[in-house]
Amino acid sequence: QSALTQPASVSGSPGQSITISCTGTSSDIGGYNYVSWYQQHPGKAPKLVIYEVSNRPSGVSNRFSGSKSGNTASLTISGVQTEDEADYYCSSYRSSSTLVRSSSSSTLVFGAGTKVTVL
Amino acid sequence: EVQLVESGGGLVQPGGSLRLSCAASGFTFSKYSFNWVRQTPGKGLEWLSYFGWSGTTIYYADSVKGRFTTSRDIARDSLYLQMSGLRDEDTAVYYCTRDSSRGYAMDVWGQGTTVTVSS
């Protein structure tokens, strides 16, 4: 199963906005609004920052926002801060069948990750 | 406190078997779905398995299908990953995650347990 496509790295200065893209296919991102984004600091477990394309869990800064167009999802960090420096992963539900949640064809897939550097 | 704690990792020879455990606390275990996700050293995240709350919906990634089996013990509030036919490429940190019931997003992650496959 191929991973979703993310840029290897994105950088920005404090206060700038940065956007991370995540490209899939019509079998995953383009077919369902089941896109999530995770933040991972070194040596830590990942943390959910966006679910169902554009929703923020309680406690996550409103500097984080998500969107989707066609087969590409995006995570935007507005006014990036030094503590936002981390790896970011997108994830999506993927089905190779027209039957959603068919056990034989349903999977979840991650992107390869994007390292965000705050200059 | 909502928490997942993995255990059972260690060093195993190629072709060997290992069972990972994930103990849940702070929430009603039986009402949630769960995933196993792994991360190889310095690499990205790889989804392995989804275990639905009803116990009847289980998905596996192609890379582990037929070798890994996910199960749970509701009485012990625990999730398990039985791994067999282990290969060098299975060396990774293994995470147990809780499904948020929102678009397959994973809202709680354990701290991870390390599996090393080597002779």
Rounded distance, CA B39 to CA B29, Å? Answer: 24
CA-nearest residue to B112 within chain A is A45
Q: Which residues of B touch A107 (CB under 8 A)?
A: 47, 59-62
pLDDT surpassing 70 at residue B71: yes
Q: What is the tens place of the pLDDT at every residue in B20-52?
A: 999 999 999 999 999 999 999 778 899 999 999
Task: Give the closest of A33, A111, A112 to B103, CB-based.
Answer: A33
Q: Does A88 touch chain B (CB under 8 A)?
A: no
pLDDT in the model for residue A105: 74
3-state secondary structure of B47: strand
pLDDT surpassing 90 at residue A100: no
Q: Does B2 touch chain A (CB under 8 A)?
A: no
Q: What is the tens place of the pLDDT at every residue in A23-54?
A: 999 999 999 999 999 999 999 999 999 999 99
Q: Do B47 and A112 touch (CB under 8 A)?
A: no
Which residues are CB-contacts of A117 (< 8 A; sequence separation ≥ 6)? A9, A10, A11, A12, A85
Q: Which residues of A touch B47 (CB under 8 A)?
A: 91, 107-110
β-strand partners of B116: B11
The average confidence (pLDDT) of chain B is 95
DSSP A67-117: EEETTEEEEEETT--GGG-EEEEEEEEEESSSSTT-TTTEEEEEB--EEEE
Q: Do A93 and B35 touch (CB under 8 A)?
A: no
pLDDT in the model for residue A97: 59
Q: Do A45 and B95 touch (CB under 8 A)?
A: yes
Q: Does A83 touch chain B (CB under 8 A)?
A: no
Q: Of A36, A105, A32, A100, give the one whose Cα is nearest residue A70.
A: A32
Confidence of residue A101 (pLDDT cuts 50, 70, 90): low
Q: Which residues of A touch B63 (CB under 8 A)?
A: 1
